[in-house]
Structure 1
Amino acid sequence: MAKSLGLIGCGAFGSFMLHHIAPFFQVRIYDRFRDLGPIDQSYKVEVGTLAEVAAAEIVVLAVPVQELGAITLEIAPYLRPGTLVLDVASVKLKPTEILAANLPTNIDIVSTHPLFGPQSGKQGIAGLNVVICPIRGERAGCVARFLKEMLQLNVIESTPERHDREVAYVQGLTHLIAKILVDIELTDLQQTTRTYDLLMQSVEMVRYDSEELFQAIESINPFVSEAKKRFFDSARRLESRLSRHAPAPSAMEALV
C-alpha cells in the first residue's frame, strides 16, 4: 500500500510537484490561500485540514521561506512520531534551523532544493538536479533513492552552508540579472543572436517567479550579499574600462 503524503502549500511549485509525486503516494493537500478544488480534480488527491495533512507518514512543506516558522509551529502538535518532514526551500541554512528548532525530536527531517521549477521542468524533470541535506534521522538515503530511481533526478547531497554558498551565485546572480532584464522590457527585437536568445530563455524561466521566492533568494541567503558585491564591483570596473576607450567629443562630432 502506498505511503501517505501530506503536501502543505500548493502554489506554483507545490502544484507542479503533484504531477510527479501523486502516482507514488496517497496524497492529501492543504493551502490556506488557494481554492484547491481544481487541483483536487486534476490529480485525484484529497483536500484536508492542516491537522489531517500533517498526520501523513511523509509531510512536504512547499510554502515560502518567510512562512516556515509559523507553519512548523502549527503542525508540530499534529505530527506523528517517526514522520518524515521535507521542505523544498531555495535556501537551506535558515529553513533547516527553523525545522530543527520547531519540530519535535522524534521527527525525521530531510531538507531538499529542486534546482528547477515549473518553467525549467515543463518538458520533464528527468536528469535535472535536486539537492538534499540530511538534517535529522537516517532516511536521507531513502529520499535519495526515490528521487533517483522513481523521478530520475540527479541527486546532490550537501550541507546547508555549502548549498547556500554555491546557490548565492547559481541563483542569487542569475535571478538578479533576470529581474534587471525584465525591468528593461526588451521586446519585439528581430535582429537577435543565438547568445541573446539563450539569455532571454533563461529570463523567461524565472520571469513569473513569486516575489517571495525572489526575496528569499536575494535576502535570506547569507552569502548573496558577497556575491552581489563582487558582481557590482566587477560591473563598475568594466564600466570604467569602457569609458576610458570611449570616443572623445571631437571624434563624435566628426561622425555626425
Structure 2
Amino acid sequence: MMEMSCAEHHNYAAASRFITLTVGRVLGALKLESTPINTEGYEALLGLVENTSSGDSFDLYYELFMHHENALEILERLGLAFDALKNQLFGYLHQFVGNQLFGNGNADKVAAPLQEDQNGTALVSSSTSKAMRWQNAAQPQDHKAQISDRFVDNNSRLKIAIVGFGNFGQFLAKTMVRQGHLVLAYSRSDYSDVAQKLGVSYFSNAEDLFEKRPEVVLICTSILSTEKVLRSLPLQRLKKNTLFVDVLSVKEFPRNLLLQNLPLDYDILCTHPMFGPESGKNGWNGLPFVYDKVRVGGDESRVLRCNKFLDIFAREGCKMVEMSCAEHDMHAAESQFITHTVGRVLGKLGLKSTAVDTNGYKTLLSLVETTAGDSFDLYYGLFLYNMNAMEQLKMLDMAFESLKKQLFRRLHGVIHNQIFEETPDKSQV
C-alpha cells in the first residue's frame, strides 16, 4: 500500500509505464519468437511483449501518451538514443572498412581496441553451413548419461591450453581446474599471478605453451584478434590431431577461419557458452551451451576427447544444444543482438527505479544493468560479425517509426475532428 499525491504518481508513471509499453509494442511488431538458445534477457523481453501486446489495447497506450505532458519528451529521447547507437555502430563500421581499404587490410584495427577478456563474435562467411540439428539437441541429463559415467577417474582428465586468458578465459578455467583437468594458459597480457591463484600453468609465449603438447587448444581471444592470433600460433609444435575449440558469440566466422587455417588432421569444435562471469556466477545449471562438431576424426580416441570436453559443461548442468553454426547465427541475431540493442538504447536514457515500478519496468532496468556490464566492443562484434544483425536493426528502426506514426496519426485525427467536425453551430449560440 503506497500513499502519494496524484502529481507524484503522474511523474513516476511516465517512466515506469509509458517507456515499458513503448518498448513492448516496438518489439511486438518484430514478431519475435522463442529460440533454442534464448538468453535470460531475451526471455524477459518475450515476456514483456506478451504482457504489453496481448493484455493492453492501443487505446490505453494512446491515453498514456496523450495525458502525460512528458510522454512526447520520452518518445523523443528514445528516438535520439536509438539514433545515437546507430551512429556509433556505423561510425565503427566506417572505420573498419576504411582500415581494410587504406590500412593494409588489417581488419583488427578498429576505432577502439577490443579487450582480451570478452567473449566476442566473429566475421561470417557465405560458405555453405551444416544442416540444422538443434531439434535433436540433447538435454543436460541425456548428455551426461551418454558420456559422464565413463569418466570417473584420471582417464577423464584433459590437458587444455587456453589462448587468451582474460576474464572469460579465467572464468572457464576455474571450473575446468575444479573438475580435475590440467589447464595451461597464454595471453598477451601478464596474468601469471591470476593463473597461479587458479591453479593454472601460465606461459608468456605460445611456443612454450605448445611444447607441452596440449590435447585441446581453447581460443578465448577477442573477436577481431582471432584471425591474427590463430595465424601466429606455432602449430608445428602440436600433435597432428589436436582439438581446436572456440567460444565466440557468433559461429560461422570461427568455423570458416579454423577450416581455412588448420591442417586437415586437426579436429574443430565450435562452441558458444551462452553465459559469462556475471550470468554464470551462481553455477551453469540450465544455461545453454551450443556446439557444432565441425570436424572430428572417426578414431575412437578423438571422438572420446571431444566428448570429454563437452562433458565439462554437461557435468555442470548446462543445456547442451547441438546446432549448426549458421542456425546459431540466425537465432543469435534475435536472442542476443536485439536484447543488447534494447538494453543499450535504454541505458542512454539514465533510467532509475521509482516508487511505483511495474514488473515490466523492473525487467527493463535489469536488462540495462546486464548489458551495461558488457563493453561496446562486444556489442559491435555482435553487429559486425552476424550477417543477420543489420536486418534486425533495420526492422527495429522501422517498428519504432511505425509506432510513432500510429500515435501521431491518431493525434492528427483528434485535432482534425476538433477543427472540422465540432465547430459550434452559430444558431445554437
Give the alignment's TM-score, normalised by structure 1.
0.89
User: Where does 1:28-177 land on structure 2 (aligned, <5 Å)?
Assistant: 28-33=184-189, 35-48=190-203, 49-54=205-210, 55-75=213-233, 76-138=235-297, 139=303, 140-148=306-314, 150-177=315-342
1:254 match: none
Identity between Structure 1 and Structure 2 (%)? 26
Whole-angstrom CA distance in 1 between matches of 2:164 and 2:348 = 29
The amino acid across from 2:187 in the alignment is D
CA displacement, residues 163-216 of structure 1 (integer Å, 9 cap, x when unaligned): 100101111111111111122222354432121112222222221213332121
- Measure how far apart 1:47 and its partner are: 0.5
State which drifts further: 45-54 or 111-120.
Answer: 45-54
State which drifts further: 165-174 or 237-246.
Answer: 237-246
For the pair shown, the structure with the greater C-alpha radius of gyration is 2
The amino acid across from 1:240 in the alignment is K
SS in 2 for 1:119: coil
Whole-angstrom CA distance in 2 between matches of 1:52 and 1:104 = 21
SS in 1 for 2:286: coil
Whole-angstrom CA distance in 2 between matches of 1:241 and 1:175 = 26
SS in 2 for 1:184: coil
Consecutive unaligned residues in structure 2, runs of 5 or more: 1-153, 298-302, 419-429
- Measure how far apart 1:249 and its partner are: 10
The amino acid across from 1:72 in the alignment is L
Give yes or no for contact 1:7–1:30 (8 Å, CA) kept in 2: yes
The amino acid across from 1:241 in the alignment is Q
Give yes or no for contact 1:110–1:133 (8 Å, CA) kept in 2: yes
**How many residue pairs were aligned?**
249
RMSD: 2.1
SS in 1 for 2:224: helix
Whole-angstrom CA distance in 2 between matches of 1:161 and 1:83 = 24
State which drifts further: 79-88 or 159-168.
Answer: 79-88
The amino acid across from 1:45 in the alignment is V
The 1:53–1:248 alpha-carbon spacing in structure 2 relative to 1, beyond 3 Å, is: farther
The amino acid across from 1:51 in the alignment is E
The 1:242–1:77 alpha-carbon spacing in structure 2 relative to 1, beyond 3 Å, is: farther
2:388 match: 223
Whole-angstrom CA distance in 2 between matches of 1:154 and 1:36 = 31
1:209 match: 374
The amino acid across from 1:68 in the alignment is T
2:176 match: 21
- Pick the structure with more strand per residue: 1
CA displacement, residues 112-145 of structure 1 (integer Å, 9 cap, x when unaligned): 0011111111221111001001111144544434
Whole-angstrom CA distance in 2 between matches of 1:46 and 1:193 = 49
Pick aligned residue for 2:408 from 222, 228, 243: 243
Give yes or no for contact 2:352–2:365 (8 Å, CA) kept in 1: no
Pick aligned residue for 1:233 from 381, 389, 398: 398
CA displacement, residues 39-65 of structure 1 (integer Å, 9 cap, x when unaligned): 123211111131233431111111112
Give yes or no for contact 1:112–1:132 (8 Å, CA) kept in 2: yes
State which drifts further: 189-198 or 223-232.
Answer: 189-198
Whole-angstrom CA distance in 2 between matches of 1:231 and 1:3 = 45
SS in 2 for 1:237: helix
